Structure 1
Amino acid sequence: MGIWRGPQGIEVEAIVASGGPCLLVTRRVGGRRVLVAYCMSIREVGELVDLAELVPA
């Protein structure tokens, strides 16, 4: 699994959920992680965040 971080507290984490692999997109707000979306593809993540700004954690 991997975690990538972006500006404004965005975190994208590769996870395995009950339906299989997916990408968990969260945002850090006041020290807490807030769910943004569960994405099934990197394309879906790209609709939410600028992929070029993500860096490995």
Structure 2
Amino acid sequence: MGIWLGPNGIEVEALVMNDRPCLRITRLVGGKRTLVADCADVREVSRYVDLAELVMADDDERQRFGHVTA
């Protein structure tokens, strides 16, 4: 669907869980990705990350933000 990157290893991924849309927030810590929250909408995501700091993921942005490529 879509992945957005933020500072400090934050990654927000749009996905479907149990036939419902979900925004999964994870953080890269010590080389391992850990779950922060599964959110039902963008308002919930804003509790965990400043939405203005998120950028759409591509290879250049993944490198710039220090995210590990899959």
TM-score range for the pair, normalised by the shorter chain length: over 0.9
Write out per-residue CA displacement over residues 1-57 of structure 1, whole angstroms, 9 at most, x where no aligned residue.
000000000000001001511100000011111000000000000011000000011
Q: Where does residue 34 of structure 1 map in the other structure?
A: 34
Q: Where does residue 18 of structure 1 map in the other structure?
A: 18
Look at both structures and tell me which one has the larger radius of gyration over its CA atoms. 2
TM-score (norm 1): 0.95
Helix, strand or coil at the partner of 1:21: strand
Letter in 2 for 1:12: V
Q: Where does residue 5 of structure 1 map in the other structure?
A: 5
Percent of residue pairs bearing the same amino acid type: 65
Which is richer in strand?
Answer: 1
In 2, Cα distance between equivalents of 1:41 and 1:56:
17
In 1, Cα distance between equivalents of 2:15 and 2:31:
21
Which runs of 5 or more structure 1 residues have no equivalent in the other structure? none
Q: Where does residue 52 of structure 2 map in the other structure?
A: 52
Which runs of 5 or more structure 2 residues have no equivalent in the other structure? 58-70
